[in-house]
Structure 1
Amino acid sequence: MICIECGKPVNDVYKEFGKSGSGNIRLTRCNHQNCQQIADKYVEYDFIIVFLDLFLHKAQAYRHLLFNRQHYRDFGIPIQYLKVLVVYIFFESYVKWLRVKQYCEYTQPKSAFYYYDWQDDVPYDRYWFIFITAIAEFAVFIIAIIFSVRLIYQSRYAIIKYNYLVMSIILSSFGKGFLVLMMIWDYPFSFSAILNVFVLSSNIVAIKVFLDTSTFKAGCFVAFGFIVKLIFQSIIYLFDTSMLLCIV
């Protein structure tokens, strides 16, 4: 566990009195001389408060969820993170599929002697292709960030917990969940571009928290991953004009 204010390790974030599970707890303070604040105030907060602070890019919320909310893991990623990631990719894939659908609707010729049904040109199995490529894009994004972190920090840290780096990226990609609004209401596709900017900025905060580094360095890691992702997208969609609309 760590103090969410200074990021230094602590023995515990609260002490429980009485019978186990009684709920009688007292929050502990960080014992580091330059901090002396409540080690983790989110212990007594509802999750909605934590989520709002994530939305506001507060580093304390990321420290709480990454280091204090779950048990320490040497390897692997909790199944909850993977489930959430699948949901994010599903939403993103669906929005990309809608773009291709609209492209086909507006570019196909229409006349009194010709009837066009976009479903004949953009079948539902096309969605699964977009879904698989979206998974590959996210994997490329993560691998590029891991490579850049390893290149810069290998000499600084003897061991880097890359599973926590991946978890921090997945956690900070929660903004992709707002894409569900485009499935309910008729939002313009510029809304997804705004969400992508928000997600990238959240990625910067999460990586900054995990690596305990500057915003500039974290931004460079995310920028490198995003550029590699763009290159990968361009290669995948090079021979399909309609699929170029999916580059985000």
Structure 2
Amino acid sequence: MYICINCGAECKELYRRYCPSVLKILKCEKCGLLADKYIEYDPVIVFVDLILIEKPAYRHLLYNSNFKSYWKLIIILWLAESLRIWFACEISKTELNASETELVYNDASQDCNFYSVLLHTAFAFAAFICAVILITELKWFIIGKKPYKYSIKDLSRALIVGGSGQLLGFLGIVWRHIASGHYYLLIQGYTVLCLFTAYSGKNSC
């Protein structure tokens, strides 16, 4: 089953193909809009809309697309964030004073051993996902009615996709802005918006 990217209603089919080169996107029976306009769009346009934090784009990726490489994405996020923290730690030893690096990474990452950073980042990611799942389960337990498409697996995927904003931190290594507190806070703010959009798009279906 698919969902409408506009209202989140369940759809049996998104389009009908009349010949190999002609297909018609069906409208949602609930809202009357095209169930998934991204069916005809180039993946680059979908990617741009994901960057622009469009909730329909997140719903398309999570429910109506053939994207399955979530484990690859989480590994990329894990390595990119670990590398950013490790570079920041190394630079702090030679170029930055303690007040400048305090905003970039917390006290738990003061050890510049790369393997320690990897373990710390993996634990942080796992703790965050588990905390969100626990809070969400508690919310549905109190409310007493879960959305029909809700599952812990899909929620974890939504958090992985939403957390992709952290990849912007990797650009700081190239641009040498690793130690800039304002730069890092901007990335964190953007990532929070992506996570909130992915989370709300997932839990409204």
- Check 1:199–1:107 CA distance in 2 against 1; reply closer, same or farther (3 A cut): closer
Match of 1:26 among 24, 27, 33: 24
**Residue aligning to 1:196:** 188
* Cα deviation digits, residues 138-188 of structure 1 (max 9, x gap): 100000001100111022228840000000000111212222312322224
**Alignment partners' CA distance in 1, 2:174 and 2:91:** 17
Aligned residue in 2 for 1:175 = 165
Q: Which residue matches 1:7?
A: 8
The residue type paired with residue 149 of structure 1 is: T
- CA gap of 1:153–1:176, structure 2 versus 1, over 3 A, is same
Give the aligned residue type for 1:210: K
Q: 1:49 to 1:172 in 2, by over 3 A?
A: same
Aligned partner (choices 61, 83, 92) of residue 72 of structure 2? 83
- Helix, strand or coil for the counterpart of 1:187? coil
Percent identity for Structure 1 against Structure 2: 25
The answer as to whether partners of 2:25 and 2:36 remain within 8 angstroms in 1 is: yes
Paired residues for 1:7-156 under 5 Å: 7-18=8-19, 22-32=20-30, 35-70=31-66, 78=68, 80-105=69-94, 126-154=113-141, 155-156=144-145
Match of 1:161 in 2: 151
SS class of match (2:16): strand
Distance 1:133 1:188 in 2: 18
| Structure with greater contact order relative to length (CA < 8 Å, sep ≥ 6) | 2
**Contact 2:166/2:187 (CA < 8 Å) preserved in 1?**
yes
- Cα 1:14–1:158 change in 2 (3 A) is closer
Residue 56 of structure 1: how far off its partner (Å): 1.8
Q: Within 5 A, what are the aligned runs for 1:204-219?
A: 204-212=196-204
Deviating beyond 3 angstroms after TM superposition, the runs of 4 or more aligned structure 1 residues are none
Match of 2:11, SS state, is: coil
Does structure 1 conserve the Cα–Cα contact (< 8 Å) formed by 2:169 and 2:178? no
Unaligned 5+ residue runs, structure 1? Answer: 72-77, 109-121, 214-248
Quick check: 196-205 or 139-148, which moved more?
196-205
Give, in angstroms, the shift of residue 45 of structure 1: 0.6
Per-residue deviation, residues 81-111 of structure 1 (Å, max 9, x unmatched):
1111111111111111122112222589xxx
Task: Flag structure 2 segments of 5+ consecutive residues without an equivalent.
Answer: 98-110
Find the residue that maps to 2:24 and give its secondary structure: strand
Mapped partners of 1:199, 1:58: distance in 2: 13
Equivalent residues of 2:84, 2:178 under 8 A apart: no
Cα displacement string for residues 111-161 of structure 1 (whole angstroms, at most 9, x for unaligned residues):
xxxxxxxxxxx77xx111101110110100000001100111022228840
RMSD: 2.2
Task: Report if aligned partners of 2:154, 2:202 keep a CA contact under 8 Å in 1.
Answer: yes
